[in-house]
Amino acid sequence: VAPHALGRHLAIAGFMGAGKTTTGARVAERLGRPFVDLDTEIERRTGTTVAATFAENGEAAFRAIEEQVASDLLLRAKPHVLALGGGAVLSQATRAELSQRAFTVLLDVEPDVAWERARGAGRPLAVDEKSFHSLYAARSPLYEEAADARARDDDGVVLAAAGVYVHVGVLDLLGEHVPDDGAIELVADTHVAGIHGMEAQLALGGRRIQVHEVPAGESAKTSTQLERLWRAFGIGRDGIVVALGGGCTTDLAGFAAATWKRGVRWIAVPTSLVGQVDAAIGGKTAIDIPGGKNLVGAFHWPTRVVSDPALLETLPEREQRNGLAEVVKTGLLAGEPLWELSEPELVRRCAAYKAAVCLADPHELGARAQLNLGHTFAHALEAAAGYGLPHGEAVALGLVAALRLSGNAAAVDVVEHVLRPRPVRVDRERAWAALARDKKAVRGVRKLVLLDEPGRPRWGVEVPEGDVRAALESLIA
């Protein structure tokens, strides 16, 4: 079973009226993938409508064409988003090809809603309400069989495609999200292990487990801690690393998984807001070395991210604020006030935004750069403060600088209102030197992310050095 759609087709299955075509097209746009609708492709090839093929040649003939076209589409090498026809999964051959070449998401819809949408649209199987409902009941088990995951909306499809599960209470179902029956190495932040570790272990059930506690916070992300894990790990290549904790734990454990036996699967169970909306998603893993933060790492996509917003109830206020800064950043990038939503919903929406960007650009060669909005300044201030400045405060200030350079006063107001950043006391020269060393500079030219307006980020922008320096200095008390 495919755990996610990275490097594979994303197929959207579901009953008539589920919205497969509209959702599929929008998701394809977000993932930067070509979109193809099976029925439209059939109509293009046959030169007539689906209804006409049904009427003239009968359902069996239509299904044969559908099976052939689905097979051709699934053989395309480049990962697509493919909206399947409502009956495509009736074919055993198509179900088999889907499981080999695609990650299939079932787009859920209530039968009454489906009927309201599908009736009167000239669909051959949506003529009579009673038979429509019996068809729904008859097909449901086939959808279940073909689907790797289920979703109700665009964000749900994106999250499923990235292997990310966000649900209140999902920690109790952790065992169901760890594939196969290979042995598990559980890596947990020692502080978090004391609060949620037992629940996680119980949820993992009777599988062979070793538990490794690592220090809370950035001190987990060291070569010493990494080596400790390497020395203690006993899993083979079929084993799996489960990381329970904030971004520091998932960064360390993910990198340990990326390097152990040249790469084993791993599952992130983020417990901090930063982890749930940012760090656990997208496959970047790393440790710090004296030369800088995150300098040694790997892209290693987690098999699953199992994110339970209920765990945030025990998160200290300080850590909550660190996460809120990333939530505001994400909301500005998405062009929606995501910070106003309830916590479970804002986690879901922010996670989906990041998941889509990272699926579109898993190795950070393009669009993923937008996620650095405000971070060039934030990193400079953190370095100048000797890492004594909370990350959330640094990001809030960094956002102010980037938004001022973007000429976006309304967005600056939002950040000031929601995050209330205050200028910091750091050495100006140290901050400037740190910014000049920024590792994201390309051949010495510093490229910034600006926000033309909420929802419209622009990355790789060269900004005159004097303006960058003035923006940085405006953050310093």
Ligand X SMILES: NC(=O)c1ccc[n+]([C@@H]2O[C@H](COP(=O)([O-])OP(=O)(O)OC[C@H]3O[C@@H](n4cnc5c(N)ncnc54)[C@H](O)[C@@H]3O)[C@@H](O)[C@H]2O)c1
Which range of residues in 97-105, 243-251, 301-309, 436-444 is near ligand X by CB under 6 A?
243-251
Asked about 372 being catalytic, the answer comes back as yes
Among the options 33, 177, 300, 379, which is catalytic?
Answer: 379
Q: In angstroms, rounded to a whole number, what is the distance separating the alpha carbons of residues 273 and 58? A: 54
Tell me the H-state helices in 147-222: 154-162, 174-177, 190-192, 198-204
Q: Which of 1, 357, 346 is nearest to 149 (CA)?
A: 1
User: Residues touching ligand X: how many (CB under 6 A)?
Assistant: 30
Distance CA 448, CA 405 (A): 10
Q: Is 278 in the site for ligand X (CB under 6 A)?
A: yes
The answer to whether residue 379 forms part of the interface with ligand X (CB under 6 A) is: no
Residues 6+ away with beta carbon under 8 Å from 331: 337, 338, 339, 350, 454
The stretch near ligand X (CB under 6 A) out of 15-23, 137-145, 306-314, 406-414 is 306-314
Both structure tokens of 357? 């960007």
Per rule CB under 6 A, is residue 188 in the interface with ligand X? no
Beta bridge partners of 364: none
Which of these segments, 14-22, 298-306, 310-318, 406-414, binds ligand X (CB under 6 A)?
310-318
Measured N-to-C along each axis, helices 111-118 and 129-146 cross at an angle, to the nearest 10 degrees, of 120
Return the number of the residue (191 or 404) whose C-beta is nearest ligand X: 191
Say which DSSP state 84 is in: P
Whether 75 and 94 have beta carbons less than 8 Å apart is answered as: no
Q: Is-catalytic flag, 354?
A: yes
Degrees, nearest 5: CA angle 329-351-472: 20
Kindly state the smallest distance separating residue 159's Cβ from ligand X, in Å.
16
Question: Least distance to ligand X from the beta carbon of 181, Å?
Answer: 28
Q: Is 261 annotated in the active site?
A: no
Of 364, 440, 446, 458, which one is the catalytic site residue?
Answer: 364
Distance CA 81, CA 65 (A): 20
Examine residue 201 and tell whether it contacts ligand X (CB under 6 A): no
Considering only 189, 308, 382, 438, the residue that binds ligand X (CB under 6 A) is: 189
Residue 271 interacts with ligand X (CB under 6 A): yes or no: yes
Rg, the chain, Cα only = 24
Q: Could you tell me the smallest distance in angstroms from the CB atom of residue 437 to ligand X?
A: 17
322 is catalytic: no
Strand runs labelled E in 115-200: 149-151, 164-166, 184-189
Q: Annotated catalytic, 177?
A: no
Q: Which of 49, 210, 294, 320 binds ligand X (CB under 6 A)?
A: 294
The distance of closest approach from Cβ of residue 76 to ligand X in the complex, given in angstroms and rounded to an integer, is 30
Cα distance between residue 142 and residue 88, in whole Å: 10
Q: Which of 214, 241, 274, 381 binds ligand X (CB under 6 A)?
A: 274
Q: How far apart are CA 438 and CA 379, in angstroms?
A: 8
Residue 359, interface with ligand X (CB under 6 A)? Answer: no
Active site residue 447: no
Q: Name the amino acid, one letter, at 256.
A: A
Quick one: tokens of 247? Answer: 């971004």
Q: Is 191 in the site for ligand X (CB under 6 A)?
A: yes
Instruction: State the Cα–Cα distance between residues 226 and 214, nearest whole angstrom.
Output: 10
Q: Are strands 292-299 and 284-289 parallel, antiparallel or unpaired?
A: antiparallel
Q: How far is the CB of 331 from ligand X (least distance, A)?
A: 16
CA distances in angstroms from 164 to 11, 143, 192, 361, listed in the order given: 17, 20, 21, 17
Query: Is residue 383 near ligand X by the rule CB under 6 A?
Result: no
- Enter the tokens of residue 173: 């179902």
Active site residue 375: yes
Q: Does 251 bind ligand X (CB under 6 A)?
A: yes
Binding of ligand X at residue 282 (CB under 6 A)? yes
Site string for ligand X, 67-96 (x = CB under 6 A): ------------------------------
Active-site residue (options: 9, 33, 265, 284): 284
* Member of 18, 315, 351, 411 binding ligand X (CB under 6 A): 315
Q: Which residues are identified as catalytic? A: 262, 284, 326, 354, 364, 368, 372, 375, 379, 391
Q: Give the residues lining the site for ligand X (CB under 6 A).
A: 189, 191-192, 195, 216-218, 221, 245-249, 251, 271-272, 274-275, 278-279, 282, 284, 293-294, 311-312, 314-315, 319, 322
